[in-house]
Amino acid sequence: MGASLPALVRRPAVLWSALAVALAAAVVTVLIVVPGGSSADGDYRDADLPTADRVADLLGRMTMEEKVGQMTQATVAAVDPAPADLADLGIGSLLNGGSEALRDTPEAWAEMIDGYQRQALESRLGIPIVYGIDAVHGNAGLPGAVIFPHNIGLGAAHDPDLAGRAAAITAAETRAAGIHWTFAPCVCVARDSRWGRTYESYGEDPGIAIEYAPAVVAGYQGEDLAANTSVLATAKHYVGDGGTGYGTSTTDSYQLDQGVVAIGEEELRAIHLAPFQAAVDAGVGSVMASFSSVDLGEGPLKTHADEYLLTDVLKGELGFEGFVISDWQGVDQISSDYAEAVRTAINAGVDMVMVPFEYQKFIDTLLAEVEAGRVSEERIDDAVSRILTQKFALGLFEQPYADTSGAADVGSDAHRAVAREAAAASQVLLRNEGDLLPLTGDESIYVAGSGADALGRQLGGWSGTWQGTVQAVNEGTSILAGIEEVAPGAAITYSEDASEPIGAADVGIVVVAEDPYAEGVGDAGAGTHDMKVSEEDAAAIATVCAAVDCVVIVVSGRPIEIEPHLEGVDALVAAWLPGSEGAGVADPLFGATPYGGTLPVTWPKLVEDEPVNVGDAEYDPLFPYGFGLTT
């Protein structure tokens, strides 16, 4: 039986003490139950406190399992079968891989991401996810979004302010869809145009990237990262991926991508590291490690495994306070022994791992490494603190769900006007015999070539799909349509293969183009992308330029081997990958704006001349770095 009444009377203090504890526990329980099912309260919920205090408070409440969960980034396709894992495992981030989970409207994107966010907020502490995507030249996963010129075109414009405005519009059109984080800007310095990612670089001179990085980071992140027009920026790929040696890639069929950068440390610092210092100084929130390896004289070491470069240099010397994200399964490349790969990457300084599929395996592995003492709790706490700091800066704890009030501005005339301005500014006039350009706009014009009426080709890779596609999924104006818009008084005949009679045309315009490509697949020699004019486009040049005064416009992500086809060509224009606004290509063509762009990379005579860069001891290109005629 229980205690007798006399016993209770003799111990009133004990009784009331027990009751007080029970009542306090009940009150605390009521206080910490928040909507969505999480049990979370404390200083980290107080938006008035300094971020460092909120991070420390939250970190102190987390279990090791919850911390490792925050270091995990899974792809949408991986969690779709088990969305409850977001809460159960405390996964910190999701990303779109390639063309998966695309939606047609900002609201549809936001609804999808909010669904994942609701799952994440069911976790014990209610920590929100951060959602990332490759919005590298516009929110290209969203039909109707504005697509800007790829970085090489922006580099040709030599206008950091313009690049910053493009980044700000991209940020607004990305955050309006509920996406918090873009894997951009790429501040790599492309030293060999055979690299399939050359167009993601601003040029071969680090000075351009150094100049652009602050403006672009500020454009993405804005004055307030929590605003519905801002996204977390990512400086990538750290470090030296534009300087890999041809044929050093360890990936099947690649030639340059994911290869080895074998140079001295002084050169690595001057060319490839300096743009990252500029991005860090601008407050960039994340840095993505490169697939490539660096060899400073002691043999190649994967950057994902390089503690000297990631921790000592980036976080120590450069003062980077954000977090390091791995590239897609980049950790796996360190070693065939997965446990070794994971502990090496984390100890080297990788803070969040883009798993992207086997997230449970990663979590279990890292937990085991911590339990065994091979990864310290201090290293885990450092990584998680960096991640949480950016989540607080993004305002995700106060506003975890999407604010789609900016959705109506996606693809707006005002946004497209900036993209058109950028396309026009990126045009580089390489030849203008007899001052053929600008055209008057009242000519009879014969238009041909694979790039004239192919929006997908002028968008390039990372547009709708990972590698891009000739059949563009994004909206926009082709170059042909742009010509018709800018010169409504011209009589235009279009024949892609130049099979239609040229007749009495006054001038011909042949728009040659590369098919879209992205990383690895675009490496010259890795497949069908060889940096040469296609047989069909070469035939169109020969046909049209033999008959009339002729303009050749090159739509490409890098210089291509054009010299064998220049006979009879009166004007030559490098249009790069101009994005969704083809009228921007037409504007300087007809004098609506002047030609003023200059080459951000050296244009070789032959593909086999690569690598060729300004300052080389033997330098005899077709067009030198910095060249560009004006009108």
Catalytic residue among 200, 332, 519, 570: 519
Helix axes 51-61, 377-393, angle to 10 degrees: 130
Could you tell me whether strands 293-295 and 301-302 are parallel, antiparallel, or unpaired per DSSP bridges?
antiparallel
For residue 50, the tally of other CB atoms under 10 A from its CB is 10
Q: In whole angstroms, give the CA distance from residue 247 to residue 562.
A: 24
Which of 629, 600, 496 lies closest to 193 in space, CA to CA?
A: 600
For residues 310 and 319, the answer to whether their CB atoms sit within 8 Å is no
For residues 553 and 414, the answer to whether their CB atoms sit within 8 Å is no
Q: In whole angstroms, give the CA distance from residue 299 to residue 320.
A: 26
Residue 491, classed as helix, strand or coil, is strand
Catalytic residue among 204, 327, 369, 496: 327
Helices (H), 106-204: 106-120, 151-157, 160-175
Q: Annotated catalytic, 519?
A: yes
Q: For the stretch 522-550, what's the b/e string if a residue is b when 16 or more beta carbons lie within 10 angstroms of its beta carbon?
A: bbbebeebebbbbeebbbbbebbbebbbb
Residue 136, classed as helix, strand or coil, is coil
Quick one: DSSP state of residue 148? Answer: P
Structural tokens at position 463 = 């547009």
Q: Annotated catalytic, 327?
A: yes
Determine the residue type at 114: D
What is the enclosing helix (H) or strand (E) of 578? none
Residue 528, classed as helix, strand or coil, is coil
> Which residues are identified as catalytic?
327, 519
